[in-house]
Structure 1
């Protein structure tokens, strides 16, 4: 199920990066009209979406890597959501000091972070279980998640 979600999110992000950025700024920022994204941000958003899609289609180690990175980012977002967002703003916006986060969004980022940690741990446990089963015990249709 999580592979399907990552794949669908990746496809939407890859196909509509401008719309994703606009929706993000509308929800996340108190002052979206006062913030200027760096010129390459839309391309980076598209590349991230393509990466999600490729990793989910490849499965195995590629998907494992994606869930591990998502878990690490989720941990940072869950523990320190404002600092996590501020770090992203310094990367993505021309004047990050002008970015004013919507408080409900900061709370939402914490919740999403916790969900990503849970997802990553679940995927890790599933990979470990699959590795502990001998190849004779698995059928050819088993996929690593």
Structure 2
């Protein structure tokens, strides 16, 4: 269920990033009418959504590098969110000096870090669960895999 919810969010960011960004600005900024996004901000949001979906669908089979980058970003956001917040603002907005952050942005960034870590771990646990279910049910025809010996 969590995977489907996260996939839906990732697809939303790919298809329609503007409302997601606007909601984040309304919640995270004291002056949400001030931000002036850079021309490639929407492309960056879509790429982030694509990476998010890719990891949820493919997991470690998709890209160890991408999974590692998401995990590193998540861990950094959990432990020291301020540098990532500052970096992301400079990448997304032209007028970062004009933006006034709400006091809960750092805790929210830590939660985003937990989400990133969850995305890197979910595919692995999901794939292990489906492999375990296949072994238990003995269903090897649909997967094309040979059955594993019982331990």
Gaps of 5+ in 2: 146-151
Aligned-partner Cα distance in 1 for 2:63–2:2: 10
* Contact in 2 for aligned 1:13/1:20 (Cα 8 Å): yes
Aligned-partner Cα distance in 1 for 2:123–2:50: 21
The worse-fitting range, judged by mean Cα deviation, of 40-49 and 52-61 is: 52-61
Q: Deviations over 1:27-59 (max 9, x none)?
A: 111222222110221222223323433444445
Asked whether 1:21 is paired with 2:21, we answer yes
Q: TM-score, normalised by structure 1?
A: 0.71
Q: TM-score, normalised by structure 2?
A: 0.69
Residue 4 of structure 2 aligns with which residue? 4
Over 3 Å counting, the alpha-carbon distance change for 1:62 and 1:71 in structure 2 is same
| Equivalences for residues 125-140 of structure 1 within 5 A | 126=125, 139=140, 140=143
Over 3 Å counting, the alpha-carbon distance change for 1:52 and 1:22 in structure 2 is same
Q: Between Structure 1 and Structure 2, whose CA radius of gyration is higher?
A: 2
Aligned-partner Cα distance in 2 for 1:15–1:119: 19
Residue 114 of structure 1 aligns with which residue? 114
Over 3 Å counting, the alpha-carbon distance change for 1:122 and 1:39 in structure 2 is closer
Matched pairs, number? 137
Over 3 Å counting, the alpha-carbon distance change for 1:65 and 1:102 in structure 2 is same
| Equivalences for residues 1-145 of structure 1 within 5 A | 1=1, 3-59=3-59, 61-62=61-62, 66-117=66-117, 120-121=120-121, 123=123, 126=125, 139=140, 140=143
Task: Please tell me the root mean square deviation across aligned C-alpha atoms, in Å.
Answer: 3.3
Over 3 Å counting, the alpha-carbon distance change for 1:65 and 1:9 in structure 2 is farther
Task: Decide which structure has greater helix share.
Answer: 1
The worse-fitting range, judged by mean Cα deviation, of 84-93 and 40-49 is: 40-49
Gaps of 5+ in 1: none
* Contact in 2 for aligned 1:2/1:119 (Cα 8 Å): no
Q: Deviations over 1:37-88 (max 9, x none)?
A: 1022122222332343344444551176554332211111111112211110
Q: Following TM superposition, by how much is the alpha carbon of 1:21 offset from its aligned partner in structure 2, in angstroms?
A: 1.3
